[in-house]
């Protein structure tokens, strides 16, 4: 569809059956050959002159650059605390639990905001949602800086809480924008490049946070995070101003709010065109209750996300302290080694994204996912072994950095293979929400476990040193067990995915022995939900699928509520004021 059709510069072309005549073979200039088909037709090929194609490419690159810089401030702010754990304990008197609460305060709101962010992105549009998210991030980082200047852990936790309000919705918006502009133009590589900027900021944060505090004072990392948050907010304002031009120049698919605006313009000229656009806009809006009918593959994917959150992020935040204590290293050396846990994404995201675009088999994504799980499993196994036998953490660091160096990308790339396009933003939100739920629960419990039975954190005897080593050992073993469960979940996801694809192939073979080239060209496994209609057997199983979907949805809600209750109760009992910390009073 040309931009002229959207802007109203050319009049609609009537179909062979009459202008917008109802019927099963209705032809429509906006909806393709079928008014019930999703807009725009997924495999519609329209010839464009080379100059227009090059212009569209440049516009997509500009949109990608904007999306990249959205998350620089949030990723940098997410990892400034990890290298400073020992310093905060020494200079501010924070306990393990208080540090974990700081990190959990950041991830707590991410247990629900990604899903709301996904719904907001599908209903209100990515431009409006993104400005809310970057505004919350900048506000939270500013409050975190003020709390650090005042040495108030409670104020810092409040800043991290507000910061967390925007982080996950922004990630959903960023991924949705990239999918929108690059769905048919190398999505895997585009997503990889879009996420690399944020991952690079995370690595730079972990790598420079401790040196900045050493050279420019303890507040320098917090100043840097607030400054980058402000820059991301300003770039977002530029994107909001230019979004209409970017969409038109790239020929990107319109979102529901944009379709409604176009419908209002067409209502003055052509009611049929306006009604068509309103119809498409309504189809693009997602009702949260519709998630219950997405099937077992969707819920297996969500369960894997919970387990990924439990073993990925908590370890990266605690790694510097774990390496320091386990291998008796100085703070600076331990923080430097731990920072390389985040370096893998910078190199592996583009490489894996490029490979995924070339190997157009969806099963390949799950194979890569299983390999990443085995890599992190090896890392935890190495760390569980006695330090006297391993002597160094580098094999675990390299293995873990490789494992998580590309696996978060896979969780995003796989989504269009699992759900219809109108569910993409909401599914991305659900994936972020439950992943962060696992992170919050795991992070909070890890802090409690590390503080267990330490009566005076400011005066640890040699006996307590041995007990502390045992607690680190138990924590690493817990991560190992959850990693095993994650690997089993990936195998289950692969099985359910293969079962559903086999059912799709069987249905297509019975109803359409010679599928159209558009059904097999882009999707050789016939895996896509876009081309899988509901057979009579599917309709018969629909009530049972919905019952299971409701059960899993309620279980997810219960898990999110548990994360909140755990955090609030722990914060109420363990967070201390500056006076209490200076007085040496241990958390209750």
Q: Kindly list the domain boundaries of the chain, sorted by start residue.
A: 50-253+293-582
pLDDT at 455 over 50: no
Could you tell me where the beta strands, DSSP code E, fall in 292-369?
none
pLDDT score at 440: 94
Question: CA torsion sign, 566 to 568 to 573 to 575?
Answer: positive
Q: Which of 4-8, 458-462, 577-581 has maximum average pLDDT? A: 577-581
Torsions phi, psi for 529 (to 5 deg): -65, -20
Q: Which residues of 231-268 are buried (b: 16+ CB within 10 A; e: fewer)?
A: ebbebbeebbebbeebbebbbbbbbbbbbbbbbeebee
Give the residue-averaged pLDDT of 506-521.
Answer: 54
Q: Which residues of 183-220 are buried (b: 16+ CB within 10 A; e: fewer)?
A: beebbbbbbbbbbbbbbbbbbbbbbbbbebbeeeebeb
- Whole-Å CA distances, 545 to 207, 290, 496, 552: 47, 12, 13, 11
Q: Are 107 and 203 in contact (CB under 8 A)?
A: no
Give the residue-averaged pLDDT of 366-388.
Answer: 95
Q: Are 349 and 406 in contact (CB under 8 A)?
A: yes
Candidates 339, 352, 329; CA nearest to 401 is 339
Per the listing, tokens 């291998």 go with 327
Interval 552-575: pLDDT, tens: 989 999 999 999 999 999 999 888
Half-sphere exposure of 234 (CA within 13 A, CB side): 6
pLDDT score at 431: 85
- Whole-Å CA distances, 318 to 62, 177, 449, 450: 37, 32, 13, 11
Q: Which of 69-78, 249-258, 303-312, 543-552 has maximum average pLDDT? A: 303-312
Spatial distance between the Cα atoms of 307 and 312, rounded to a whole number of angstroms: 9
How many angstroms from the chain centroid is the CA of residue 575? 29
- Between 496 and 542, the more confident residue is 496
Q: Which of 27-36, 81-90, 319-328 has the lowest mean pLDDT?
A: 27-36
Torsions phi, psi for 212 (to 5 deg): -60, -45
Spatial distance between the Cα atoms of 85 and 94, rounded to a whole number of angstroms: 8
Interval 342-355: pLDDT, tens: 998 888 888 887 88
Angle at 324 between CA 318 and CA 325, to 5 degrees: 90
Instruction: Return the structure tokens found at 77.
Output: 């702010």
Which helix (DSSP H) or strand (DSSP E) does residue 114 occupy?
helix 113-123
pLDDT score at 3: 39
The Cβ of residue 556 has, within 10 Å, a number of other Cβ atoms equal to 21
* DSSP conformational letter for 44: -
Indicate the average pLDDT of the chain.
77
Give the residue-averaged pLDDT of 356-383.
Answer: 90
Question: CA torsion sign, 117 to 422 to 181 to 203?
Answer: positive
Q: pLDDT > 90: what percent of the chain?
A: 33
Q: Cis ω on the peptide bond leading into residue 486 (within 30° of 0)?
A: no
H-helix segments, 404-461 = 407-413, 415-418, 424-451
Per the listing, tokens 């905001």 go with 113
Q: Helix 126-149 and helix 113-123: axis angle, to 10°? A: 150
What CATH number should be reported for the domain whose range is 50-253+293-582? 1.20.1250.20
Spatial distance between the Cα atoms of 161 and 244, rounded to a whole number of angstroms: 33
pLDDT at 60 over 60: yes
- Between 368 and 64, the more confident residue is 368
Q: Are 276 and 5 in contact (CB under 8 A)?
A: no
pLDDT score at 184: 66
Torsions phi, psi for 511 (to 5 deg): -95, -25
Q: What is the pTM of this model?
A: 0.75
Q: Which residues of 410-439 are buried (b: 16+ CB within 10 A; e: fewer)?
A: bbbbbbbbbbbbbbbbbbbbbbbbbbbbbb
Give the residue-averaged pLDDT of 411-433.
Answer: 79
pLDDT at 525 over 60: no
Residues forming a β-bridge with 15:
18
Residues forming a β-bridge with 333:
none
Q: Which of 46-55, 118-127, 262-271, 561-570 has the lowest mean pLDDT?
A: 262-271
């Amino acid at each position: 569809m040309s931009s002229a059709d959207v802007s109203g510069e050319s009049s609609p072309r009537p179909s062979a059956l009459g202008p917008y005549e109802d019927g099963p073979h209705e032809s429509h200039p906006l909806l393709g050959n079928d008014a019930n088909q999703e807009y725009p037709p997924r495999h519609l090929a329209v010839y464009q002159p080379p100059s227009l194609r090059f212009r569209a490419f440049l516009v997509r690159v500009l949109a990608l650059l904007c999306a990249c810089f959205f998350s620089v401030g949030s990723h940098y702010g997410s990892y400034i605390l990890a290298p400073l754990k020992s310093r905060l304990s020494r200079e501010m008197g924070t306990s393990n639990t208080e540090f974990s609460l700081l990190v959990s305060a950041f991830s707590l709101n991410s247990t629900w905001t990604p899903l709301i962010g996904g719904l907001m992105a599908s209903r209100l549009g990515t431009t409006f949602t993104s400005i809310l998210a970057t505004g919350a991030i900048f506000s939270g980082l500013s409050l975190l800086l003020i709390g650090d200047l005042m040495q108030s852990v409670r104020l810092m936790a409040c800043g991290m809480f507000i910061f967390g309000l925007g982080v996950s919705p922004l990630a959903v918006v960023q991924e949705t924008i990239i999918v929108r502009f690059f769905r048919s133009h190398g999505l895997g590589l585009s997503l990889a490049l879009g996420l690399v900027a944020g991952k690079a900021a995370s690595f730079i944060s972990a790598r420079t946070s401790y040196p900045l505090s050493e050279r420019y004072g303890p507040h320098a990392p917090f100043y840097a995070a607030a400054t980058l948050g402000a820059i991301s907010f300003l770039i977002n304002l530029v994107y909001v101003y230019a979004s209409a031009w970017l969409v038109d120049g790239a020929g990107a698919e319109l979102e529901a709010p944009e379709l409604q605006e176009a419908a209002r313009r067409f209502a003055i000229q052509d009611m049929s065109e306006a009604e068509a656009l309103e119809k498409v806009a309504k189809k693009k809006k997602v009702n949260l209750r519709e998630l219950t009918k997405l099937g077992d593959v969707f819920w297996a994917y969500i369960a894997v996300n919970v387990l990924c959150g439990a073993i990925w992020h908590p370890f990266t935040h605690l790694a510097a302290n774990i390496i320091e204590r386990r291998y008796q290293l100085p703070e600076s050396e331990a923080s430097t080694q731990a920072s390389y846990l985040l370096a893998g994404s910078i190199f592996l995201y583009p490489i894996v994204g490029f490979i995924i675009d070339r190997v157009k088999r969806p099963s390949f994504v799950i194979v890569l996912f299983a390999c990443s799980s085995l890599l992190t499993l090896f890392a935890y196994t190495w760390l569980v072994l006695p330090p006297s036998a391993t002597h160094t953490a580098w094999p675990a660091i390299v293995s873990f950095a490789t494992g998580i160096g590309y696996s978060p990308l896979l969780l995003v790339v796989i989504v269009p293979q699992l759900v219809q396009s109108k569910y993409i933003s909401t599914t991305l939100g659900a994936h972020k929400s439950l992943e962060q739920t696992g992170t919050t629960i795991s992070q909070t419990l890890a802090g409690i476990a590390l503080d267990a039975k330490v009566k005076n954190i400011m005066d640890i005897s040699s006996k307590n040193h041995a007990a502390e080593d045992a607690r680190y050992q138990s924590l690493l073993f817990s991560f190992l067990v959850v990693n095993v469960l994650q690997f089993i979940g990936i195998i289950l996801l692969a099985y359910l995915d293969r079962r559903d694809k086999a059912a799709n192939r069987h249905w297509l073979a019975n109803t359409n022995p010679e599928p159209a080239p558009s059904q097999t060209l882009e999707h050789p496994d016939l895996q896509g939900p876009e081309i899988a209609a509901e057979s009579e057997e599917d309709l018969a199983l629909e009530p049972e699928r919905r019952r299971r979907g409701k059960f899993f949805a309620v279980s997810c809600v219960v898990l999110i509520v548990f994360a909140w209750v755990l955090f609030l109760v722990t914060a109420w009992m363990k967070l201390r004021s500056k006076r209490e910390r200076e007085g040496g009073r241990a958390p209750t």
